[in-house]
Structure formats: C-alpha cells, structure tokens
A and B are shown apart, each in its own frame.
Chain A
C-alpha cells in the first residue's frame, strides 16, 4: 500500500514510480491519498495491510514500513533525489514480501 501525505504533484510522481517498481516485481498494490498521513499511520496501515508492507511518500521522502518490524521504525527511510531511487524502493517493498534480497 502506498500513502501520500500532502497530495502534491511531486508526491504523486514519486508514488507512481514506487508503484512501477512494485509492479515490475509482480506484486499487487493500492495507492491512497489523504492529507495529513503521518509515519504513525503508515505503521498501523502496515499492520493491517494483507501483505504487511506500507509506504509513505512525504515530499521527497519515502518511509517503508514492514509489519514484521515490531518497533515503530521504518525498514527504509530515504530522501529521493532521482526517480530511479523511488523505483528501487518499490522493488524493495515487493522483495520484502517475496523474500528476495534488496536492490
């Protein structure tokens, strides 16, 4: 699941790129937009999500939460400089589920 915090154009572009990364790895996903999503929300979403992974895009920052991490800290936290990095994050999100080494 991909969430966008501020629903800006930049976030939408990054979220889409993350989505392409997940798609290339063959994993289904959903995008949700709602102003004011916080890291805490994403953590709870990850717990509820059927595949146990949730991503938050906040400006150019990506938070990747996985259910199996009990503490409230992300598996990846990354400042995006190039769109290719967002694609990689998407692949990594899918690989958590597929149990494949990260990019």
Chain B
C-alpha cells in the first residue's frame, strides 16, 4: 500500500515527521542546498508513489534513509554532475572550531560523509548502516575508522577529543 491510497493528511504527517531527517542526510552527502532539496523531494515522491507497508516506525525511517542514500549516490555518480561544496556558505558555522571540523567533514569523500552522518548524527550502529547502505559491516567499520583518521590528521591536536 502506498500513500497514494491513503488520506493526504496521513502523508502530511509523514512528511512533518521525517522531512528534516531526510533533508539533513541529503545535505550531509550532497553538500549543497539545491541538490539536497531535489533529493528530498524525490525521496518523498517515491514514498508517496510506492512506499511499502511499513512494519514499524524504525522500518519507515530506515526505508526513507535508504532511498535518500541511494538517490544521492545515483546523483553524484552521474558523470555529468559537478559536485559543489557550499554547505558552510549556506548554513554558517557558529564558531571557528565548529567551522574547522565541519569544513573537514564536508571535504571527505561521499562514502565517508554518509557513514559519518548516519553513525554520529542519526545514531545508527555499524550493523544498521551496513543494512541501510547495502555494504558489509566490516566495510562500514573501516570507513568510519578511516574517516576518523583523516579528520585527526587535518584537525588540530585540541580538537581530537571532539571527534
């Protein structure tokens, strides 16, 4: 059953519940507002057109995040897509330390950014991320480790604790 067959109020509730989560995930991976908005729209359009019957709230969220990550990958994989990193210009950091950390997180390759966001911000376990991104858990662990190492290499000593 898709949302098409339900009342529009149900879908509006669904959007309100998940829109920020999906938008933030898309932003973390795409690093610019126009792309993240496109991805967010496409994700909810897919939910509207053909979302499966969800077994639980967690299942619902996981489905949306999986679709978002896949769409971001498809978008970025297009040979014609020029990647831009303008997130910090659009949403400014509140202090220099935060800026430095974010600048380095957003400079990471996309496979690291996705894993970092899902692990640190969404709080998913490596096992969950493996399922969401259809990777082996070992791969997710190694991506996380490498991302942390990359960040430590480029950040100042005093910021290590915050990573």
A, B assembled together: no
